Amino acid sequence: MTDAPDDVDRLDAALSRLVSRAVVTPEQADAVRTEFAALPPSVAPRPPAPDDDTPNTSLLAEIAGYTGAVFVIAGAAALAAAAWGSLARPAQFGILLAAAVLVTGAALATAHGRTAAESSGPRNRLVAVLLLLAAGLYSGATAVYATGRVAEHLIPVPALAVAFAGYTWRRGVLLNLGLATATATTAAVLVDLSRPSTGIPVGLTLAFVGAAWLAASVGRVVLTEESAGWIAGGLIAFVGAELVTTSGGGGASALGYLLLFALGIAGGASYLATRGLAALAVGGLTLAIAVPQLVLDLTDGALGAALALLIGGLLIVALSVVALRRVETPAT
């Protein structure tokens, strides 16, 4: 016996309405559909095992994990301020490496052999935070022995490797954002090795990384968190385009504005296609910043900052109106 078609249709319709009102994200709706489809027919759900995640236990464990992570960071900062400079380089390296290994072990123990789909939200978030903390510690340990220009530019690589491994293993919004940050940082630092005379090469690199992140998020095929992909990729692309715009005059500035407007239009087009609020926010805010900036540049500031603020404010108001209509319009 299979699930009645009416039940499936009603569930899909309810989820579609919730997504259209931004009560749940498309990713959450897809997760509910997957879980519903995986349930055996006509079988009551089994009670949770004693060691299953419960809301109170998960919340307390998550808070404890975050508290421990804060203690690690605070302890490292206190040590650095008090006596770090007096420690020999091997001691510095050993402390950071030991902390990184311990935090990695804590992440593995927290996962407890469960996949991300089998774990609760608090457990997944805590694992992600611990992995990202470990990524920073591994890069910190690398920095101890990074002497010379080339070695110094390789410091972000361990963090990128850990973030990539963590995202491949667990997925999730936090790891998506962490991997995006590590990827953009590593790419920009490696390009800086060539000692560019302006910020244009670094800006173009960041714009490319951001665009690649956005493309990988489309349809949640490569990166499974489309909203997080838009936030991370959009921010990286925006920073890159702004760097190109402000790093040179004439053609470089025109190229930067072209990239900014392309990002804004891409966000609007994605919103029209998917109704994703993250795409709307990225596209709308990019245009809200780029248009007044372009007006100031074209008029050499003759129209003043007041007009730029007026234009930016009108664009942001328009963005908010579209977003409210999107949230409040029920699905048909």
Q: For position 298, what pLDDT does the model report?
A: 77
Sequence-ordered list of residues with C-beta below 8 angstroms from that of 142, at least 6 positions apart, any chain: 154, 155, 157, 158
Q: For position 45, what pLDDT does the model report?
A: 52
Would you call 213 helix, strand, or coil by DSSP? helix
Q: Which tens digits make up the pLDDT trace of 10-48?
A: 888 888 878 776 677 787 888 888 878 777 665 545 544
> What six digits make up the tokens of 133?
């903390």
**Own/partner long-range contacts of 68-75 (Cβ < 8 Å, ≥24 apart):** 68/106, 69/103, 69/129, 69/130, 69/133, 72/99, 72/103, 72/133, 73/133
Identify the top-confidence range among 22-36, 126-140, 244-258, 270-284: 126-140
Sequence-ordered list of residues with C-beta below 8 angstroms from that of 254, at least 6 positions apart, any chain: none
Cβ atoms 236, 217 nearer than 8 A = no
What is the rounded average pLDDT of the residues 68-96? 76
pLDDT over threshold 60, residue 8: yes
Q: pTM score, two decimals?
A: 0.70
Q: Which tens digits make up the pLDDT trace of 112-145?
A: 766 666 555 777 888 888 999 999 999 999 988 8
Q: With residue 88 as reference, give the H or E element that holds it.
A: none
pLDDT over threshold 50, residue 331: no
Cβ atoms 172, 129 nearer than 8 A = no
Sketch the domain layout of the chain as residue ranges: 62-170, 196-332
Sequence-ordered list of residues with C-beta below 8 angstroms from that of 101, at least 6 positions apart, any chain: none
How far apart, in Å, are the Cα atoms of 277 and each of 142, 214, 231, 257, 324?
Answer: 39, 14, 10, 23, 10
Would you call 300 helix, strand, or coil by DSSP? coil
